[in-house]
Structure 1
C-alpha cells in the first residue's frame, strides 16, 4: 500500500483545453500511449470502431466526430499517477467544460501552430484564470506549415497576458521539421520518420548548444538557425519560474506533433516534474487540504448510460482529501444519508475497473440511481459545501415533445436524468404540459435528440418558443418570492431540483419583473443545492 503522503504528492490531475481541431483528441490518445494505458495509437493504425479515440465513447460523438462529454483517464508515468480529464472541444458544451475545470489542479492548452490563439482557447483560458489553474502550453502540428514560433509566443503573451518560457524549441517546420531542442535539459530530440503508432527513441543528450554532436546530427543550416534562435529566446524570455507557473502567471511552452508522437514524452515528463499535486479545494465553512486524513470529495459530473446495457448513472467524484477505500461509508451532505460505496470505479474513458483505493486528487466513479447531483459533497461526517461549481442560465430555450404521445411520461424521466447529468437545463412550467429545455449552444439540442432517441428509445422533436431567457429566483423573505410567483404564474417553472425559475418572454418582461420585485434575486448562475 503506498504511503499516504507520497500517494498524494505523486498525483497529477489535469485537463486538456483547446479550440476544436487543434489536435486535442489526438494528443489525449498519445498521452495514453506514452502512459502505457493503450497499446497502439488507434487513430492511425486501427480500423473501424478502433480508429476513434478512446476518449470519444458516446455513440453521438463517434457519429459526428466531435467530443461532447468529458472523459476521465487514469494512467501511470514517471512515478506519477495521472488523472487526465478530456473536455468537450465544441463551444456549445462549455458548461460541462467549466465544471470539469473545477476538478483539476492544472491544464494543458493545445494550440494549432498554424492558427495560434483561437476564440474558444481564449474563453477556456479565462475560466482557468478565474480559478488560478496553472497552464502548460503545447503548440501542436509543427509537422505542417506553421506560424513563426516567436510570433506564437508573442501572441500568447499579449492575448492571454501570460509570461511565456519555451521549454523546447522547434527545429524547422512543415516538411522541414526535424525535431526540437529541450531548453530545460539541453537535449536534442529528433523526429524519427517511423510509423506513427510507434514510440520514438529518447532524445540525444548534448552538452549544450556548442556540442559538436549537434553538427553531426543536424544539417548546417538547421544548426546555425537553432543556435541563433535559442540565443534570442534566452535573451527575450524569462527563465522558468516554478512558483510563477503554479500561481498561473507563466506558461512553459512545448512544441511538437501529436500525430507523430513527437514532443508528447517531453510534455508528460514536464507535467510529472512541475505540475502541482492536489491543491487546496475551496469549501464552506473552510477550505479542504489534500493531506487531511478524513475523506472528502465532490460530484462535478454525472454521466448517464455509459453502459447502455445497464441504464446506469455514474457520478464523477473528485477526491479532495484523505485515503479512500472501497466499502467506506460516506455522508451525502445534501440528504444526510450514509452511502455505502461498494462498487466505486476508476476510468479509462468508458472502460472501468473497481477502485480498491484512491487518494486526494483522484477521480472515482460512483454508480447511483439519481441520488447524487452535481455539486454534492461526500464526507466522513463533517458538514462541508464545496464552492464554485455553478449551473448557468441557458441562452436558448425550446419545447420538446415525444413523437409518440404515449411516451410523454417516459420522456419526463429521460429529461430528468439528462438534467441531473448537466447535459442541459430542463424546466417544467407550472401551467401547461410542455417541457422546456434550455442550452448554451444550438448543437446541444441535436445531441439531446440523438441521446433521447438512442439511449431511451424515444424519438422527440424540439420546437421554437417565444421565450427569451430563464432566471432562477430566490429571496430572503419567502413571502416576496410567493408574491412574484402568484403574480407571474404563467412564467414560472421548476427545474429538475424543484427550484423555481422565471421564464422571460423578452428583455422588457425580465426588466419589469425585476423592477416590480426588487427584493427577489433573478439569478444567471446558481450553485448546487445542498
Structure 2
C-alpha cells in the first residue's frame, strides 16, 4: 500500500457568473507560488490575462468557457485546482469536473447572495456528498448582512453554515475580517502582499476601538455574540459528509482573506477518497494503478494541434512510460507523454499518485469516461454526457472544407462541448448543445482552429434521446423498432458522433408518443446510462 497520496488535495472552484471565481483562482495561485502576477478576466485591453483563461475567445470575451487544471504546492500539500466555467451554457463541463475532485470551493457574491447557477452546482455536490467550503466575495463593495447571507446558504442550498471568519463592515466602511477560531484580526488593505493577523482577546479586547470606528465595532460585536448561539461550530465529520460548509469572507480582487481560506482548505479538505466502479469500490491506498478520463481538450498547443486527455488518478502510482490496460479497447497502451498543468502550459511529469490529475497525449485512443488500470477490468461510474437542449443545422460556406469541418466537429464532440447527429432521412449535420453561448464558441473554434467557416441555421428539433433496448437480449425486436422509428413522421432517427442511435423530436409530446409506441426501447437523456448498459 502507498501513502504518498495523503498530501494531495483536489478541488474545483464553482460559482454563478461574475461572483469572482477566476479572480480567486488567480490569488490562490499567487499564494501557492505558481504565478508571480495575478491577471484579470475583465480588462480586455489588459496585457495580463487570467492564467486559467488561456483560450483566445476567453481573453476576447472576458469569460471562462472551459475548465482549466492547475497544480501547485502549499503548506505541505500538493494541490490540484480546477477552475470551471461559471456560465450556465458551459455547465456540462463543470459537472464532469466535479466528478474528478474530492472537494469544492463555492464562491458567493456578497451583494447578490446565492444565485441560480450556484444552486444547481451545489445540488450536484450535495448529490455526490462532496465537501464544500464557501467564500463570500467582494466585501470591499457594499454587501448584504453576513447573517442574512448565512441564512440564505442554509435555507436555499440546504447545507448548515459554520462561519470561520467574520467581516467587519463592508464597502467603504470595510475594516477587515476576524478569525472566529484563532481570535485574530486582519486589517483590510488594498492589494497587500502579506496580511498578518493581530492576536486579540476576543471581542472584549479594549484595543478594538484603536483599530475600528466605534459604530462599526458595535455592530460587529453584536453579530459575533449572536452567531455563537445560532450556528453550530465546525464539525469535520459533518463537513466531510457534505452536510456543513465552513464560511469565509473577503475580497479576492484585493487579495484579502484569501490566505486564511487557503490555509483552512489544506487543513480540513479531504485527501483522495474511495471511488465507485461498476465492479467494486476502489481505495486510493491500493498498490495497483487506476484512473479515469474526465476531460479531453484539443488544440491546447496551437502550433501542434495536439489533443490532451485529462486523467484523474484514483489509486496506486502512475509512472511515465508505463503500460496501462484500456478496458474499453481491451488492450494495453504504453503512455510515454504525460504532463501536469498550469492552464495551457504544461510540464512533463515522471510519476503521479492518487488525487493527481495528469494530461496524456491522445492520438484518438481516449474518450471521456474511459477507465485506465494497471491490469484489472474496471469501469468508473458517474461521468455524465447530457442530452442537448438547443439544436442548429450546420452549413459549410465552402464545400472544399468539408473534411476540416467534420474533423473539427468530431474533436469538439470528443471534448464533450457538443453532440453531433447525422439524420438518416437527410444529409444534414445537426449540432446540439446545452447552452446558447456554446454555438458561438464552437463556430469560432471551427473557423479559427480548423479553418472551416460555417453558419448555424435554426431547425425544428427541441429534444434528443439516445435509443437502446430495454432487454439487451432482444436484438431482433430492437432492430425492428429502430426500422419503424426511422419511417415515423414525428421523430427523426439519427446516429451520433459515436455511432449510437438517437431520436430527434420537436416536442415533449412527440417524445412521449414514441415512448408509448415502442415499449421495448429505452430513451435515455444521458449517455452515462448507455455506458452502464454496455459495461453490464
Class of the TM-score when normalised by the shorter of the 2 chains = over 0.9
Deviation digits for residues 8-55 of structure 1, max 9, x if unmatched?
A: 111110111100010111101011011110001233999956421110
* Structure 2 SS opposite 1:62: helix
* Structure 2 SS opposite 1:493: strand
Task: Answer yes or no: is 1:278 the counterpart of 2:275.
Answer: no
Choose from 106, 112, 118 the match for 1:121.
Answer: 118
State the 1:207 CA deviation.
3.5
Choose from 364, 378, 403 the match for 2:397.
Answer: 403
* Alpha-carbon distance in 1 for matches of 2:311, 2:355: 10
Choose from 354, 361, 364 the match for 1:360.
Answer: 354
* Alpha-carbon distance in 2 for matches of 1:286, 1:399: 42
Task: Answer yes or no: is 1:453 the counterpart of 2:478.
Answer: no
Q: Which runs of 4+ in 1 moved over 6 A?
A: 44-47
Task: Answer yes or no: is 1:229 the counterpart of 2:230.
Answer: no
1:24 is aligned to 21
* Structure 1 SS opposite 2:385: strand
Instruction: Name whichever of 59-68 and 44-53 sits farther off.
Output: 44-53
* Alpha-carbon distance in 2 for matches of 1:158, 1:92: 26
* Structure 1 SS opposite 2:281: coil
Check whether the contact 1:26–1:259 (CA below 8 A) recurs between aligned residues.
Answer: yes
Choose from 49, 68, 78 the match for 1:81.
Answer: 78
Choose from 119, 124, 143 the match for 2:140.
Answer: 143
1:509 is aligned to 510
State the 1:468 CA deviation.
2.4
Normalised TM-score (structure 1): 0.96
* Alpha-carbon distance in 1 for matches of 2:510, 2:220: 63
Q: Go from structure 1 to structure 2 and tell me whether the alpha carbon gap of 1:49 and 1:384 turns closer, same or farther (over 3 Å shift).
A: farther
Instruction: Name whichever of 127-136 and 184-193 sits farther off.
Output: 184-193
Task: Answer yes or no: is 1:518 the counterpart of 2:519.
Answer: yes
1:180 is aligned to 177
State the 1:506 CA deviation.
2.8
Deviation digits for residues 96-134 of structure 1, max 9, x if unmatched?
A: 111010001111110000000000110111111111111
State the 1:4 CA deviation.
4.0
2:166 is aligned to 169
1:265 is aligned to 259
State the 1:440 CA deviation.
0.7
Paired residue total = 524
Instruction: Name whichever of 159-168 and 472-481 sits farther off.
Output: 472-481
Deviation digits for residues 166-216 of structure 1, max 9, x if unmatched?
A: 0000011001111100012111111123xx2x5232211223333344343
State the 1:407 CA deviation.
1.4
Task: Answer yes or no: is 1:58 the counterpart of 2:58.
Answer: no
* Alpha-carbon distance in 2 for matches of 1:430, 1:325: 45
Check whether the contact 1:42–1:51 (CA below 8 A) recurs between aligned residues.
Answer: yes
Check whether the contact 2:236–2:268 (CA below 8 A) recurs between aligned residues.
Answer: yes
Check whether the contact 1:11–1:82 (CA below 8 A) recurs between aligned residues.
Answer: yes
* Structure 2 SS opposite 1:258: coil
User: Gapped runs of 5+ residues in structure 1?
Assistant: none
* Alpha-carbon distance in 2 for matches of 1:45, 1:332: 42
* Structure 2 SS opposite 1:42: coil
